[in-house]
Amino acid sequence: MTLETLTQLFAWMTAINLGLLIAATLLTMLVRNRATAFHATLFDLDQADIRLTFYRFLGQYKLGIILFNLVPYIALRIVQ
């Protein structure tokens, strides 16, 4: 695999994961009350805990995208 191919791979990985992050964020914002009510009854938890869990998930997913997709892409662009 060449550096150019690897760079393109990380670029597409970053774009796809950012798209999924944006979609998950918008979906969470649009159906927040229904989703938290559903998960609260499903797992017998408080809705505030569910909202906090959603927020943590989105933050951890964003960090994962930055660490495992964006930083390697930028490093490969610098090397080329």
Chain segment 54-66, per-residue pLDDT in tens: 999 999 999 999 9
pLDDT at residue 27, rounded to an integer: 95
User: Tokens 């550096």 map to which residue?
Assistant: 3
pLDDT tens across 32-42, in order? 999 999 999 99
pLDDT in tens, 42-54: 999 999 999 999 9
Sign of torsion over alpha carbons 66, 68, 71, 73: negative
| Of 30, 26, 21, 27, residue with least CA distance to 59 | 21
Q: Where are the domains of the chain?
A: 3-79
CA 68 to chain centre: 11
pTM for the model: 0.89
